[in-house]
Structure 1
Amino acid sequence: MYTIKAPFIKSWHLIHSTGCIPALSTGLLIAWPSPSIPKIINDKKHYNITEAEASYFSFLNAIGPILLSPIASQLCDILGRKWTLMLSAIPHAITWIIKAFCTDLNALYTARAIGSVGDTFMYNALPMYIGEISTPKVRGIWGNGLICALYLGLFLINTIGAYCSIHATALICLVFPVIFLIMSFFIPESPYFYAMRGDDIATLDSLKKLRGTEDVESEFSKIKSGVKRQMSEPRTWKDVVMIRSNRKACFAGVFLRVSQNFCGLITFTVYAQYIFENVGNTINTKMSSILYTGLTFVCYLVACYFSDKMGRRLSYIISLSLCTIPLFGIGIYFAMKQYDNQRDLTVVEFIPLLCMIVYIVAASCGTGLVPTLMLGELFSTSVKVKCLCIVTTFFSLTYFAANNTFYYLSHSIGIFAPFFVFGCCNILSAFLASWIIPETKGKTLEEIQQILKNSSKS
């Protein structure tokens, strides 16, 4: 009994941890502007870049997913999930090389755009890969592990970027895509990909490596029959819309990603240092952003093991509702600071940091975890790449829109404005979630498809 269990645990965690490295790399790139923009706009000797010009760094990493998702999603079916994921390491490495050695504005813009290509491969391939290699029992934990890796990247870039130069930070971050590119040669391809191709031998071999045992016949039979049934369904772009179960799954995925962006989650991380700079003199900007992103990672790591017990839909609704409170709290503080000049707010300058911490805890219960997790669960094998392409495109468009919303509202009206906007979006999303999001906890991928079909008939 123990001769099987020990290598199973070792290989299982190694495979999943390796697969999550691209998410960590994406997290590094997403939050790079937070510690870097203040340094760049203040370093006129090397960069000579204005704040307005630097603000585009926060938006350019949405270009790749918007333009290239159709290509990346198709590669998942042509090359496989693993090899598409491996491709993410190349543009991720290139972007850090450019940032390490170039100071020209256009070169940095190009680096952000190239990095977004790697993000495109990651967003399309990783949820699919994790969802397909995991058993129903642990899919919640490892699906959440993906977002934990991303937030680890957010924490690392804020910490490294706070105390290292732009050049040194880029060279340190270059290590991660290189490590992934090497280690990815030793992880197996998804058994679902081989089952789609009708390669029984490769499917069995993949399952044996993933489970650490030779006894995989039962799971092999379920995967083979489920994939065969799903692949027999119509699989054109038209069928994503015309077949009700596909439409329901795709709409749920789009809703999850759009509502996640407009709850302010990633935006506040990108602008963490900017937010704390506007609080007052008693708040240490660097330490506050490090504390914020570090606590975010810890909360998500803990939530991985507990959020799955509540169920996807309920945890998402509760999380959205709870996130509304600190958002309005921060909005009220900044509104008072802007319009009530006679009131001394020094003694309550801790409120934004406290609210951001409360926001982190609330978001870790569902808002930050559920959307990414469910992308690996919702879609039929026949249209999975097409649905993920659509969802990723909407995610990138609304990511771009949410960051622009924060930037322009905070500069044209006041920094309080985006907090009120995102708080109202949370209320609306929590109200709609109970009708749009299906429950997938503890279900196999085939069982989830049957649930979607049955709900579509009712």
Structure 2
Amino acid sequence: MARSLVISSENECSEKDSFTERARVWPQVLACVIASLGAFTQGILFSWTSPFIVKIAQDKVNYNISEEEAARLPTIQPLTVLLTSLIFFKLPDIIGRKKTLLLISVPHILSFITAAVARNIYVFYLSRVFSGLANGFLWTALPMYIGEVTCPKIRGLCGTLITSAIFVGQLAVNVVGSYCDVATTSYIFIPVSILFVILFAFMPESPYYYLIKKDYGGARRSLIFLTRKRNVVDDLNNLKSDVDRQMSETGTWKDLVAIESNRNALFCAVFLRMSQSYSGISVFIQYTQYIFLKAGGNVTPQTASIIYSILCVIITLFVTIFVVSKFGRKPLYSNSSALCSVILAVMAVYFYLEEFVPTFDISSLSWLPITSLVTYQVCSCFGVAIIPSVMLGELFSASIKSKAVATMTFVNSGGIFLANATFNFLSSAGGSYAPFLFFSICTGITTVLTRFVVPETKDKTLEEIQMNLKRSA
């Protein structure tokens, strides 16, 4: 990509504590916060299975659904993304990043409505399909949009808004879903999608999209909105130069792997997404109450999931504000993976003792599951949960970005689908401890490989990142 709102060689973005700096970056933060409302709704739908897998399996009055059928629900969304991501990947380049994001409200609302009226498992599956379509739109456009409307100084901070919004959505659905039925919960959240459309309609399109389309007037208006500068001629010329250079490169599917700098970026992105999936983080989001139910203890699964979700939000916001913008991507991801590996191993030991060592009094450790998951969340928020989304908007050149993002959406959904399937298979075949042990081993391997695979992108413009990838190639 280009300079990522370089703003006159980043002068305004590097003048700390100046009123001018705040005045010129707040529109970028505003655009990213409103855009992340789409991620908030997606977080609701992604985590929807946490409170409702158990409810719809136990409610034999309104539904005749087995626990096995309900347990398949989390696999439908990533499978849908897997099958459709390579169909819609051109949308951000054809209609723009902004319009692609606005489109996600349609499948969001359809997902809520079908869940509200569902009385059998197949309508619930359809609801998850709509959720998967929205997820595909979101990951195709949102990291790209945030990466393109922010200056380097705040790009990492704003990039974490995606994960933060998803965790806030997780909290919202766990709270509401614990006290309301499926239909009521769905109708409560539909207005959020409508609010997103209304607010985001007033936000600017990415200036890079305009430059790719040779719409220099549109790019100028976007820059004026995002920087609050009257004279954006220098900024526009800088961005135009970078976009023209990158668009002069061929951008075929073959180039994604044939050109070494693109191949390096792709390998890094695939590594980040697959290692994130096999850290188990997506499994824990979707199966939160189910895991707490299996773990037992003195706290109800509903209460435990709410406490867990509240702490997720608090921790993520703390990390977003005080950690991500101050430390490099590579050490954060490596250290986060190491700590998560240890915690997963502890949980594996707990479940092993519970299931296979009946002579051991597990009641004295009833506090361990929720404590371990919360600690896991603390550690994952420093890297595993956020760095892949941040770097997805940083690694790829303008000429290849839409194809790369589509590929990564495909890889991400495939990773989540396989991680969910692995969790179900290992839980059934080996016991509850088995998936935790497996994820612990995978995350331990990630700790080592991160040091060799992941480049450092902190405080670099998107153009500088491309130049570094070319030099490393």
- Normalising by the smaller structure, the TM-score range is over 0.9
The aligned counterpart of 2:439 is 422
Q: Given the alignment, which residue of 59, 68, 82 partners 2:75?
A: 59
1:98 paired to 2:120 = no
1:394 paired to 2:448 = no
Trace 1:50-449 onto structure 2 (pairs within 5 A): 50-305=66-321, 306-449=323-466
Q: Assess if the C-alpha contact under 8 Å between 2:154 and 2:325 holds in 1.
A: no
Q: Give the superposition deviation at 1:161.
A: 0.5
Letter paired with 2:418: A
Q: Give the superposition deviation at 1:273.
A: 0.8
2: distance between equivalents of 1:169 and 1:135?
A: 38
Q: Assess if the C-alpha contact under 8 Å between 1:230 and 1:382 holds in 2.
A: yes
1: distance between equivalents of 2:236 and 2:338?
A: 41
User: Residues 144-182 of structure 1: CA distance to partner in whole angstroms, max 9, x if unpaired?
Assistant: 111100111111111110111111111112122111112
Q: Name the TM-score, length of structure 2 as normaliser.
A: 0.94
Q: Which runs of 4+ in 1 moved over 6 A?
A: 1-7
Letter paired with 1:41: A
Q: Give the superposition deviation at 1:7.
A: 6.2
Q: Give the superposition deviation at 1:17.
A: 1.2
Secondary structure of the residue that 1:399 maps to in structure 2?
helix
For structure 1, list consecutive stretches of 5 or more residues without a partner in the other structure: none
The aligned counterpart of 2:42 is 26
Q: Assess if the C-alpha contact under 8 Å between 2:28 and 2:150 holds in 1.
A: no
Q: Assess if the C-alpha contact under 8 Å between 2:43 and 2:166 holds in 1.
A: yes
2: distance between equivalents of 1:420 and 1:293?
A: 23
User: Residues 181-239 of structure 1: CA distance to partner in whole angstroms, max 9, x if unpaired?
Assistant: 12221110000101111222111110111112223333222211111100000111001
Letter paired with 2:341: T
1: distance between equivalents of 2:121 and 2:437?
A: 33
Q: Give the superposition deviation at 1:4.
A: 7.0
User: Residues 280-307 of structure 1: CA distance to partner in whole angstroms, max 9, x if unpaired?
Assistant: 2413211111111211111111111212
Secondary structure of the residue that 1:174 maps to in structure 2?
helix
Q: Assess if the C-alpha contact under 8 Å between 1:5 and 1:212 holds in 2.
A: no
2: distance between equivalents of 1:20 and 1:167?
A: 25
2: distance between equivalents of 1:333 and 1:319?
A: 21
Letter paired with 2:84: L
Q: Assess if the C-alpha contact under 8 Å between 1:328 and 1:423 holds in 2.
A: yes
Q: Give the superposition deviation at 1:45.
A: 1.2
Q: Give the superposition deviation at 1:320.
A: 0.3
For structure 2, list consecutive stretches of 5 or more residues without a partner in the other structure: 1-11, 13-17
Letter paired with 1:136: P
Secondary structure of the residue that 2:396 maps to in structure 1?
coil
Secondary structure of the residue that 1:308 maps to in structure 2?
coil
The aligned counterpart of 1:49 is 65
Secondary structure of the residue that 1:59 maps to in structure 2?
helix
User: Residues 95-115 of structure 1: CA distance to partner in whole angstroms, max 9, x if unpaired?
Assistant: 101111222221111111011
Q: Give the superposition deviation at 1:8.
A: 4.6
Q: Assess if the C-alpha contact under 8 Å between 1:100 and 1:166 holds in 2.
A: yes
RMSD: 1.6
1: distance between equivalents of 2:300 and 2:221?
A: 53
Q: Give the superposition deviation at 1:10.
A: 5.4
Q: Assess if the C-alpha contact under 8 Å between 1:194 and 1:203 holds in 2.
A: yes
Letter paired with 1:382: S
1: distance between equivalents of 2:85 and 2:304?
A: 35
Q: Assess if the C-alpha contact under 8 Å between 2:41 and 2:166 holds in 1.
A: yes
Q: Give the superposition deviation at 1:5.
A: 6.9
Letter paired with 1:142: C
Secondary structure of the residue that 1:214 maps to in structure 2?
coil
Q: Assess if the C-alpha contact under 8 Å between 2:28 and 2:149 holds in 1.
A: no
Counting matched residue pairs gives: 456
2: distance between equivalents of 1:123 and 1:352?
A: 31
